Structure 1
């Protein structure tokens, strides 16, 4: 199962390799964008944050919510996938973690056909495992099943 996933040291916001690339990351359902991996994305491109905030602002009339995906083109061969896989944000230790594995699963399932249609490989940090508080041993099988199982090549980046 894991042969579709390769691990690299590096920055997922600067994906390596040739061809069309989709950078996938997890966002919260509050429309907040201000900490963690999103800062690396925003340093490179203003579009993912702008698109995400608009998507959230206009949520009454669109599909925004847990498990949804928004694909934003940032360069001719690079797209960013905003995956809504986090319920709220963590404000205290006692609250439990904001990650929602079933939402990440649903979002990856929605991303797979879109990435295939683009002929893209998928690049990501260990999604859901930073501020969302998730565990990679719970997320990795979802990535393997939804993306790897669809025949997509996935590279996971560990920031040095």
Structure 2
């Protein structure tokens, strides 16, 4: 929990204000004065207070929605939760937009791995590969989403290791 005073949240709807650099071209990552966030990477402009507590909570739930839905649907609907969050918060919070887009893209990629794995299972000769792909699906799903939820709880954007760039 931070004890520094909260700064007013900037308005991201106006791009290209005269005299100000374009936030989409700024660097992301820890800078000399602490973390820097940009609109591109789903965070905030440098110098802002970062994501609020409610945004962190929604981001954590977004990352955990994928594995929970995948467990309930036996691996088939893990991408639905992040997609719903993306539709709700895509214009309201750059942090949540980046978190939900990353989770959705990762879940779709893993869903395709799962489909290929099940197709391989039903062929006799490729069934060992199929079981390996399905096992990799579940390991990647659980490990990466837990790591993403922990980072989201700290207010950081998690970059998934492999994802098809569908949502931005």
* TM > 0.5: no
User: Would you tell me which structure has more strand in proportion to its own residues?
Assistant: 1
Q: Considering only CA atoms, is the larger Rg found in Structure 1 or Structure 2?
A: 2
Higher-helix-fraction structure: 2
Higher relative contact order (CA 8 A, sep 6+): 1
